[in-house]
Amino acid sequence: EMGSLIAACLLSGVLQFIGMSFILRYAMPRTFYFTYVMWLVIFVAASRFAYRVFRTFVQKRNETARNVNVMVIGAGEAANSLIREMNTSKYIQKAVCCVIDDNPSKIGAYIHGVKVVGNRSYIVEAAAKYDIDEIIVALPSISKKEIREILDICQETKCDLKTLPGIYQLVNGEVSVSQLRKVDVTDLLGRDPVQTDLDSIMGYVKDKTVLVTGGGGTIGSELCRQIVTHRPKLLIIFDIYENNAYDIQQELRMKYPEFCEDHLLVLIGSVRNTARVEDVFEKYHPDIVYHAAAHKHVPLMEISPNEAIKNNVMGTWKVCEAALKHHAEKFVLISTDKAVNPTNIMGATKRICEMIVQSYDKKGDTSFVAVRFGNVLGSSGSVIPLFKKQIEAGGPVTVTDPRIIRYFMTIPEAVSLVLQAGVYAKGGEIFVLDMGEPVKILDMAKNLIRLSGYVPGEDIEIKFTGLRPGEKLYEEMLMEEEGLQDTPNKLIHIGKPIEMDEESFFEKLSELNLESKKEKADVRAWIKELVPTYEYTPGTGMYSDGKNE
């Protein structure tokens, strides 16, 4: 800004010289023009900067009254905008005490009077030296991996952490410093989100009738949100839980009132009800089916295994049969990494569902595929909302085992995978997302506690409760015999179908159906007949006497 001011004053001096010498023809001493430019710069600069200097001086005197000391990480344009706004706003009671940046050329420089004191290795020391209460990461353009490395260091300071949106959003006025967000747990996954150009691949949904079973659930409702933007001929939300179905119906009606008036249909019903499923297919003839209806809670399904069989296995079988009979184009099953070498009822039933889907793909012209992913961050019943509630209640935060690890993905990532599977589907595939490195649940708990402003083990206790029935220390994404193939999206892979005796499989499936209706306490042996990789110890745990221990 000062450079532009000097340039303007020099230009004014040149124009003054031309006017006086060649137009008015006044003979002026040569020192006049030098003196003119010098005083012009002084007076213009004084008039422009005096108020800023005075205001900054006053704010510096009042900084002692501000109760939050802030460290800013990053010395780029985002940090420049952030510090300027924080220094000049009378509504923000925070004092920026120091700046951290890894660029050696910036260390020692000042940004609006705040010194860049060092690189990331100096974060912990600087936090103690300047008595920092809050750290703001103003690095909107770096990768998730780098963010995670920086946040891992920041967590040692016990300071509250926040991140800044992209500078383009600040420039466009979309966000301001008042919209600094808390560091989200997705920042700690150690990988960038999977980017999918859905607009270029979702043409197959346009003008089609799309059925989403379990459309009121976490994945089902997000599927509906994404699908409705691509203008299907009719979107059918099918769910047994009327409250969930009502919520997503109202949300879509508010966002897309014109579309939903004629192109949205919400039906209440169960995938276990053969007649109801048949009626829906008979009346509406869906072209594409996303089957998200399922029981998913591992401990609950260990206690009620017959319900898992009836809903997950038999429900999938009935919807597959209806899709085949009425010549649906595509059928996409929502599966889970717990289906790989399962140790619990829920995972074993989902593995059976995958086998049903692979078998039905050979029966007609409908393309049947499955999509398998790990734990979904923020979904109902998942570990993250539970941890947050426990932290809000003052603890303890419960972790089953300090060694337990899981793959995590966000809801948009999960849904984009499901939608892409519909495009790539040729029939019989199991699609798997490359979700990076697994995350230790204990680390996740500690991170959430720190990011909430507490100290693990001091402010909030972490309690180990022991592995629950059927729970693994780790999940596998692919069975060994499935192999791996790439797709046009390098982060999405395909597991090859497993060969099996389909005639024997469906005979045993019918037997399992009958056994589940008898409400036997232990049906694990019957499941083992269908899923040889299912591991359990007979006569142990809650099945030892038919009761939940």
Which active-site residues does the annotation give?
338
Token couple for 462: 């972490």
Which two three-digit tokens encode residue 25? 């023809």
Cis, peptide link before residue 497, omega less than 30° from 0: no
Distance (Å, whole) CA 270 – CA 310: 11
Q: Is 486 exposed, middle or buried (0-12, 13-18, 19+ CB in 10 A)?
A: exposed
Do residues 116 and 108 lie in contact, with contact meaning Cβ atoms separated by under 8 Å? yes
Q: For residue 463, which of 531, 416, 401, 378 has the smallest C-alpha distance?
A: 401
Q: Which of 368, 356, 8, 436 is nearest to 191 (CA)?
A: 436
Are 329 and 318 in contact, with CB atoms under 8 Å apart?
no
Residues 6 or more apart whose CB falls under 8 angstroms from that of 97 comprise 69, 70, 71, 114, 130, 131, 132
Instruction: Name all contacts of 523-529 with Cβ < 8 Å and 24+ positions apart.
Output: 523/305, 523/306, 523/309, 524/305, 524/345, 527/305, 527/309, 527/345, 527/348, 527/349, 527/352
Centre a 10 Å sphere on the Cβ of residue 403 and count the other Cβ atoms it contains. 12
Sorted by sequence, the CB contacts under 8 Å of residue 7 that are 6+ apart come out as: none
The alpha carbon of residue 136 and the mean position of all alpha carbons in its chain are separated, in whole angstroms, by 21
Angle made by CA atoms 58, 59, 64, in degrees to the nearest 5: 110
Helix (H) or strand (E) holding 511: helix 502-517
Contact 344, 471 (CB under 8 A): yes
Q: List b or e across 40-71, with b for residues whose CB sees 16 or more CB atoms inside 10 angstroms.
A: bbeeeeeeeeeeeeeeeeebeeeeeebeebbb
